[in-house]
Amino acid sequence: MSNSDGKKTNASTAPAGHAQASSPREQPAPAAPGADHFPEQVPAESTPDTARDRQSHIRYMRRQMKEMTREFKALFQERKDLEKKVRGLEAQKRELQRRIETRISTPQGCCQQCEERKNVADNHRR
C-alpha cells in the first residue's frame, strides 16, 4: 500500500490482519500534572526517554537559561545607558533652547551694550 507520495505506509509493512505495534518513542509521554495547560511548551517528540537523556536535556536547558540571562542583562544595561544618554541630550537641548530664547528676547539690550562700549571708547580718544 502507498500514499499519494508513492511512499510505503506503516500499514503496508504489517502483515494482513495484524496491527503494527508502535515503539515506545512514538507514544506520547504521559502528561505531568498541570501540563495540559501548556501543551505547546514541550512537544512529545522532544521529551527525553531515559534518565541520561533527561540529565542531558536538563544541562542543555540550564546552559540556554544562563545564555539568555546574560543576553537579558546586557540588553538591560544597554537600555539603561541609552536612557541616561537621552536624559543628557534632553538637558543639553533645554539649555540650548534657553540660550536661544535669551538671545532672541534681548538682542536690543546686547546691541545697546556694544554701542555704549563703543561710545565710551570714542570718548576716551577725544
pTM beyond 0.75: the answer is no
pLDDT digits (tens, 9 = 90+) for 48-87: 568 889 999 999 999 999 999 999 999 999 999 999 999 9
Q: Which residues pair with 8 in a beta bridge?
A: 2
Count structural domains, the chain.
1
Which structural domain, as residue segments, surrounds residue 107? 50-126
Which residue in 43, 22, 21, 23 sits closest to 31, CA to CA?
A: 43
Residue 19, in any domain of the structure: no
Task: Please give the angle made by the CA atoms of 106, 95 and 92, to the nearest 5 degrees.
Answer: 155
Residue 72, in any domain of the structure: yes
Instruction: Kindly state the helix (H) or strand (E) to which residue 115 belongs, with its residue range.
Output: helix 107-125
Type of residue numbered 91: A
Q: What letters, b where the CB count within 10 A reaches 16 and e where it falls short, cover 58-73?
A: eeeeeeeeeeeeeeee
